[in-house]
Amino acid sequence: MKCRKCGERASIELRRHNAAFCAPDFLDFFRRQVREAIRKHRMFEADEAVLVAVSGGKDSLALWDVLIDEGSRTTGLYLDLGIFDYSVESKAKCERFAAARGVPLIVSTVAEEVGAPVPVIKEVTRRPPCSGCGLSKRYLMNRVALEHGFPVVATGHNLDDEAATLFGSVMHWQTDALPRQSPALAATHPKLVRRVKPLYRLSERETAAFAFLRKIDYIVEECPFAKGATSIAHKEILNRMEEASPGAKHNFLFGFLDKARPAFERAEAVTLNECARCGQVTTGTLCAFCKLADQVKRLGGGLRPSSDGRRAP
């Protein structure tokens, strides 16, 4: 197999593009895809400060790596979810990455902001862990960005993540979620920042290859709560389809974005208010984050979370 660009021996084959690349040309291909995503969806301008949400995993650190090399003004944001050793290790990976590249990193701790870490929130709410976790992550990303004056937050969602989310939304015909599925969500209120996903054109396998070739030290283990999540089942189904028909995931996601998404965009805009407690954007009176914090305070009162996420006696 030869590299499509230089004709030398290829080290990675991309079946969905019907192409193969040597290592340097693959890195070049990867960065071009990120540039194309940013340009096509006008994610941010060259002089804008970008807050990059990093989890310590390969995708978000690969994204940060590309943006630093592209000369973007980036700051990392690590959200400490308090999920046992997973959080301790992933935080250390982000801190080491930031120190090695000489870039700033902001750390925000869910246990301090909500009143308990994710494992305790799960018990108090009796809901799947990803529910309180996802809500807290979205809220804190936006609030931290606003507090520090960032107009945009970039996340490391890749093609596989986006295709799996779309698959889940379609399976349940979540017509509210479909218009929000986009590589770039505009700020529709002065207290909402833009949210962008510059890796949406790249598959999980491609981000793994990029992280490996760039020698990025990332956390390989998944969050312990990821097991059994429906998104994993959806990814497996899509992987089987991809195996049988290379490009299936790409066609599914890109076909939706190009042809179907506009049909789901709501004619009438939702009314956005500011939360009576924290001032962040909500469709009701009190935002979901403040309600969650109240619930944790009420039902989890007396539970003092320790720094590793376990309950202290």
Region class of 228: left (phi > 0), else alpha (psi between -120 and 50), else beta: left
Given the complex with Zn ion, which of 191 and 277 has the nearer CB atom?
277
User: Residue 277: helix, strand or coil by DSSP?
Assistant: coil
Nearer to ligand Q46, 104 or 134 (CB): 134
Provide the mask over 54-93, with x wherever binding to ligand Q46 is found by CB under 6 A and - wherever it is not: ---------------------------x------------
The residue (of 208 and 278) whose beta carbon lies closer to Zn ion is 278
Taking the least distance from each CB to ligand Q46, the nearer of 20 and 141 is 141
* Residue 218 is a binding residue for ligand Q46 (CB under 6 A): no
Q: Is 226 in the site for ligand Q46 (CB under 6 A)?
A: yes
Three-state DSSP class for residue 38: helix
**Contact range with Zn ion by CB under 5 A, out of 1-9, 12-20, 231-239, 290-298:** 290-298
The whole-angstrom separation of Cα 218 and Cα 247 is 27
For ligand Q46, the binding residue among 15, 36, 92, 134 (CB under 6 A) is 134
Does residue 221 touch ligand Q46 according to CB under 6 A? no
In this structure, are residues 194 and 184 in contact, taking their beta carbons and an 8 Å threshold?
A: yes
- Angle at CA 60, nearest 5°, toward 166 and 10? 90
Radius of gyration of the chain (CA): 20
> Cβ closer to ligand Q46: 117 or 198?
117
Residue 248 touches which of Zn ion, ligand Q46, none (Cβ within 5-8 Å per kind): none
Both tokens assigned to 193: 């920042």
Among 44, 139, 210, 225, binds ligand Q46 (CB under 6 A): 225
Of 130 and 241, which CB lies nearer to ligand Q46 in the complex structure? 130
> What's the rounded Cα separation, in Å, for the pair 148 and 144?
6
Rounded-to-integer distance, Cα 301 and Cα 297, Å: 5
Q: How far is the CB of 289 from ligand Q46 (least distance, A)?
A: 15
Encoded amino acid at 54, one letter: V
Rounded to a whole number of angstroms, the minimum distance from the CB of residue 289 to Zn ion is 5
Q: Which stretch binds ligand Q46 (CB under 6 A): 170-178, 219-227, 245-253, 278-286?
A: 219-227
CA-to-CA distance for 146 and 152, rounded, in angstroms?
Answer: 9
Alpha helices per DSSP H over 176-274:
204-213, 230-244, 248-255, 261-264
Residues found near Zn ion in the complex (CB under 5 A):
275, 277-278, 287, 290
